[in-house]
Structure 1
Amino acid sequence: MPGEERGAGESPVGEPDARLSTGVPDTATLGPDERVRPSLTESMGRDASIPLGGPIGEHAVVGRHWFWTPLRVALLLGVVALALSWFGKAACIQQNAGQDGSLGLDWSGSRQFVAMCYSDIVPLYGAERLDKGGFPYATMWYDDEGKPTQHERYMEYPVLTGMFMWVNAQMAQGWVEIAKSGWLPTGLEVVVYFDITAVWLGLAWLITLWAVAMCARRRKWDAAFIALSPLVIVHAFTNFDTLPTAFAACALLAWARKRPVLAGILLGLGGAAKLYPLFLLGPLLVLCLRSGKMREWWLTAAAAIGTWAAVNAPFFLHPDTARGWGEFFRLNSTRGADPDSIYNVIMQWLNWPGFDGVLGFKEPPSVLNTVTALLFLAACAGVAFIAWHAPTRPRVAQLCFLVVALFLLTNKVWSPQYSLWLVPLAILAIPRWKPLLAWMAIDAALWAPRMFFYLGTDNKGLPQDWFLGFVVARGLAVIALCVLVVIEIYKPDRDLVRAHGDDDPIGGVLDGAPDKFTLKRFTRGKAEAPV
């Protein structure tokens, strides 16, 4: 494939095609900086290369192209996927004229569901009062005003995402104002807002791809593979989740380059956009305990918590925004089982009222909250046991993937775009293209029955069971990937990353570090202790 270049000191002689039968390169032929070439090691890569001339030849001279490196190919494919994603949402930003001649969004005929173009970005422009120009967390309004269910509302997103939304709204309103003079093309404010937001979200995903390519070291083509992920095409612009993926991926890159403070700052910023990047501190903790690298972990944790607190402090300390700042936590505590959660599947299929039974308006599902928290803590304890019990120290990406996947599986909310969190972690943890594509295709396909379930059977939508069946299939696919990761942790000879002689490309100070503590060593030491 174009751009299958060699690194410094890499031999220009390609690997024999016989390795296609195993899927694992002969490590004896790989130099210390030589890249894995997917047209020789992945059947999907081989098939994709056919329109471009087929797999690279045994005696091909590679790495001489002045421009097309694997990273640039990945970024180009990322732009293509983002363009497809934008066009997928474009049907929901069509305009039409009302009876009075004024322009409005054309969502007639339940267009957002029929065209499967729904994006939270569009309705949130008005729902979060961004169109009114109010400052997030200081602006209060009433939902269901005048009804018995009337309640006060504030911006519901973490502060970095909330401010991102507000800044984009200010830019959109400024754009429309300038456009009145004829200098710029324009449209409805909400359409301009969506387009401006999409530009920044797209840039965040390209940064994610760059960081993944840098983390993958000799497997840079893996970034090109996830660049065309079906999940990106469907959900890049469904919500704002490419922001935390960019922070999380860059944090792992900083850790790989032995910069723990920078890694912590990036995790803290990611946690201020969506909380999940802070979960990555857990895998780093158990691996640092195993390797005796606690100083680096403390630096990372302190920087992450300090950064998160510094970003949030102006909002939770100021009297005008303190209550609004807590809206994110209040809403999450009072939410019930999300339609995409396994709890909802069980409730619907078994006609079960749930752990808390019938709840009153805004009454928090206390039992459900406790169950989900305990299940996630138990899952984390299981990951820690694996990290300390496995014969070889697991790689950072393997544990990070397990923790985030188990959070989604045990949580009461799995919004469709949350699956984007797993995409960069999955390719770094288990770079097997076929099983990853199978999972991503199932997960992306879930969007269709979800949309047509919301359309309703009275409007020719799908019955609920189609949607719930896909939720189960998505969960089983993620569980299968988790099992595969655990198998490779206990059998590192099957790990495609370690098959090339690497220990942990994003391990940073952990890469090649000897064990200081393992459960087996601890148990053996107790058994051999004198009576």
Structure 2
Amino acid sequence: MVPTWTEPLATAASAPIGGPLGRHAAIGRHWFWTPLRVALLLAVIGLAIGWFGKAACVQQYFNEGTKELELDWRSNRPFTAMCYSDIIPLYSAERLNTGGFPYQTSWVDDEGKPTAHVRYMEYPVLTGMFQWVNAKLADGWLAIADAGWLPTGIPVTIFFDISAFWLALAWLVTIWAVARTARLRPWDAALIAASPLLMVHAFTNFDTLATAFAATGLLAWARRRPVLAGILLGLGGAAKLYPLFLLGPLLVLCLRAGRTRDWARTALAAILAWAAVNVPIMFAFPRGWWEFFHRNSLRAADPDSLYNVVSQFTGWAGFDGPLGFQETPVWLNGVSALLFLLCCAGVAFIALQAPVRPRLAQLCFLVVATFLLTNKVWSPQYSLWLVPLAVLAVPRWRILLAWMVVDALVWAPRMAFYLGDDKKGLPIDWFLSFVVLRDLVVIALCVLVVYEIYHPARDLVRRGGGDTPLDDPGGGVLDGAPDRLTLLVTGFRRTPPPEKPPENAKPAAI
């Protein structure tokens, strides 16, 4: 696949450097610049832009009152400079600066107030341990810096920079895995490398860890290594839950292809990998381990959620009405879970009823996208989850770039809204209008994916084989496998396996 021949966006972008590749050009002979290495270079540039975008929030100043260096968040810098990152306040909010062990250490928020409550680390175990290890590395860095061997700074700045290094490496792993999975279209990985969402949200939180596990899990499945795929998806689920959702599309496609044993091996490996990370913490510090689930059950509709959009534009009080402190939004939790399950059922129906078995990446994108659309929380960095899946599912450069630009632009009105009216921030309607636009674009992508599932001739990945249409280059054992179970309008249809001739059968006479 030569992008300047097939992608209008790449064709236009090539004009400053001489235009599209010539028809008689020698391809694939350069000793160094492969599509993957170009994508990784673009990613390093994009990650550098992302780091500089957050750097304003780790600047220091000398406090004349305390006579110490402090983090310069004066004058609402995180919102005016649009550099906010969860990583920075979490260093103290999660008590990483005290040296305590996550899930064991507890503290009281709002101490002395009616809203006082006991808190623990609120992240899944792998992400929580990632933060703790980086905090210890920051302590070690500062100890060496005190001896004059390294440049120094305040602890939270060192913690942020160390975390950003590993998160950047995780995104590079994501690009590598997608490029290997999309082996017939390796240039598509450049979309992940140059994504505006990368530049805005790579260091907003710790989500690139999960994208790396999800992408490498899909690569392992594409390489027909179901156990390794399960291990990687299970570890991803221990960082963020969404990689475990990918087991659903795998199950439905394996049912259709009659490869349920491969799915069972993957699912078992995922459960064991998740348990290996979680069970020790679960038994040693059960209350601390449960904090992630407890805090998420208490959360109301996030500002970025459709429930909040409807509430703000219509005056609707929500499914649960006004809630008091620490009250669980039971109806909101139930409705969001039910809507997601209904969407998953719809994706399963499409997978079993489509005339040609869908590709794995198509269903994975639909499942994760519908989760974000129906969930009560869509933190801005969650959009990173969709980037590698979208590139694998619907590699149409102009369309994907348009979505990523719109999604990244939501950050600006969000930061301006958080300033508040008293500080000349934007009204909430501006922010919610961008949220609605973002959601509509994601829905349009889902519609496009479903259209290409039912019209496989329009699927650019299936057309990558030239005159011979492809099945699913990233499908692993599913690639080229015959259907065994499909869903007709009147019910299920089992496709019998091809009959084998008896071992003692004689060839027919000529």
* Correspondent of 2:215 among 217, 226, 249: 249
Equivalent of 2:152, from 181, 186, 195?
186
Spell out the pairing of 1:121-136 with structure 2 (5 A cutoff).
121-136=87-102
What is the CA-CA distance between 1:522 and the residue it aligns to? 6.6
The Cα of 1:48 is off from its aligned counterpart by: 1.8
Hey, what does 1:26 align to over in structure 2?
Answer: none
Does 2:257 match 1:291?
yes
| 1:460-475 equivalence runs, <5 A | 460-475=424-439
Q: Matches of residues 99-114 of structure 1 in structure 2 within 5 Å? A: 99=64, 100-114=66-80
Task: Give a deviation string over 1:206-249, Cα, whole Å, max 9, x none.
Answer: 00000000011111000012201000000000000000000000
1:326 alignment partner, SS class: helix
Say whether residues 1:143 and 2:142 are aligned partners.
no
SS in 2 for 1:519: strand
Give the corresponding residue for 2:485. Answer: 517
Cα distance between partner residues in 2 of 1:57 and 1:96: 55
1:502 paired residue number: 470
Structure-2 residue corresponding to 1:64: 29
Instruction: Indicate the SS of the match to 1:392.
Output: coil
Q: TM-score scaled by structure 2? A: 0.95
Alpha carbons of 1:525 and 1:414: their partners in 2 closer, same or farther (altered >3 Å)? closer
The residue type paired with residue 2 of structure 2 is R
Is residue 80 from structure 1 mapped to residue 45 from structure 2 by the alignment?
yes
- Relative to 1, partners in 2 of residues 1:249 and 1:495: Cα closer, same or farther, differing over 3 Å? same
Aligned to 2:394: 430
Distance (Å, rounded) in 2 between the aligned partners of 1:437 and 1:58: 27
Please tell me the root mean square deviation across aligned C-alpha atoms, in Å: 1.0
Aligned to 1:454: 418
Q: CA deviation at 1:101?
A: 2.1
Q: Distance in 1 between the 2:462 and 2:425 partners? A: 48
Give the drift of 1:520: 1.9
Corresponding residue of 1:259 = 225
Matched, 1:42 2:19: no
1:359 aligned residue (317, 323, 332): 323
| Cα shift at 1:502 | 2.0
Q: Render the CA deviation track for 1:157-178: whole Å, top value 9, x for unaligned.
A: 0000000000000000111111
1:217 is paired with a residue whose SS is coil
What one-letter code is carried by the residue in structure 2 that aligns with 1:322? P
- What amino acid is aligned across from residue 349 of structure 1 in structure 2? F
Secondary structure in 2 aligned to 1:157? coil
Residue 521 of structure 1: how far off its partner (Å): 8.4
- Offset at residue 467 of structure 1 (A): 0.3
Alignment CA distance shift 1:486-1:424 (3 Å): same
Equivalent in 181, 186, 193 of residue 227 of structure 1: 193
- The answer to whether the 8 A contact 2:352-2:485 is kept is yes
**CA–CA separation in structure 1 for the residues paired with 2:164 and 2:398:** 29
Q: Name stretches of at least 5 consecutive residues in structure 2 with no aligned partner.
A: 495-510
After superposition, the C-alpha distances for 1:127-148 in whole angstroms (9 at most, x for unaligned) are 0000000000000000000000
Secondary structure in 2 aligned to 1:226?
Answer: helix
| Aligned pair partner of 2:356 in 385, 392, 407 | 392
Q: Any conservation in 1 of the 2:188–2:391 contact (CA below 8 Å)?
A: yes
Partner of 1:268: 234
Residue 344 (str. 1) matches residue 312 (str. 2):
no
Report the counterpart of residue 498 of structure 2 in structure 1: none
* Distance in 1 between residues matched to 2:78 and 2:45, nearest whole Å: 23
Contact 2:3 2:11 in 1 (8 A): yes
The gaps in structure 1 that reach 5 residues or longer are: 1-35, 527-531
Q: Compare 112-121 and 52-61 and name the one that shifted more.
A: 52-61
In structure 2, how many angstroms separate the alpha carbons of the residues matched to 1:201 and 1:359? 37
1:481 aligns with 2:449: no
**2:473 is paired with a residue of what secondary structure?**
coil
Corresponding position of 1:173: 139
Q: Displacement of 1:110 after TM fit?
A: 0.2
Cα deviation, residue 340, structure 1: 0.5
Mark the CA change 1:499 to 1:177 in structure 2 (over 3 Å): closer, same or farther.
Answer: same
d(CA) in 2 for partners of 1:484, 1:393: 16
Which deviations, in whole Å up to 9, do the C-alpha atoms of 1:26-75 show, x marking residues without a partner? xxxxxxxxxx0101100111122222221111111121111000000000
Is contact 2:486-2:493 (8 Å) kept? no
Distance 2:239 2:28 in 1: 39
Deviation digits for residues 335-361 of structure 1, max 9, x if unmatched? 000000000011111111100001111
Q: Distance in 2 between matches of 1:279 and 1:105?
A: 39
The residue aligned with 2:278 is 312
Percent of residue pairs identical? 70
Which amino acid in the other structure matches residue 218 of structure 1? L
Look up the match of 1:217.
183
In structure 1, give the amino acid aligned to 2:60: Q
- Relative distance call for 1:485 and 1:525 in structure 2 (3 A) is closer
Query: Structure 1 pair 95/525, CA: closer, same or farther in 2 (3 Å)?
Result: closer
What one-letter code is carried by the residue in structure 1 that aligns with 2:263?
Answer: W
- Residue in structure 1 matched with residue 507 of structure 2 by the alignment: none
Separation in 2, partners of 1:48, 1:169: 42
Query: 2:118 aligns to what SS in structure 1?
Result: strand
CA drift of 1:196 comes to 0.3
Q: Which amino acid letter does the alignment assign opposite residue 225 of structure 1?
A: L
Paired position in structure 2 for 1:279: 245
**Pairwise CA distance, 1:200:** 0.1
TM-score of the superposed pair, with normalisation by structure 1: 0.91
Q: Which of 140, 154, 163 is matched with 2:120 structurally?
A: 154
User: In the aligned structure 2, how far is the partner of 1:493 from the partner of 1:294?
Assistant: 27
> Aligned partner of 2:451: which letter?
I
Q: State the partner residue of 1:13.
A: none
- 1:196 aligned residue: 162
Secondary structure of the equivalent of 1:104? Answer: strand
Structural mapping, 1:388-427, within 5 Å: 388-427=352-391
Query: 1:52 and 1:263 mapped to 2: Cα distance?
Result: 40
Letter of the 2:61 counterpart: N
2-side partners of 1:65 and 1:509: how far apart?
A: 33
Moved more, 451-460 or 291-300: 451-460
Partner SS, residue 221 of structure 1: helix
The answer as to 2:86 corresponding to 1:120 is yes
- Give the equivalent residue in structure 2 for 1:18: none
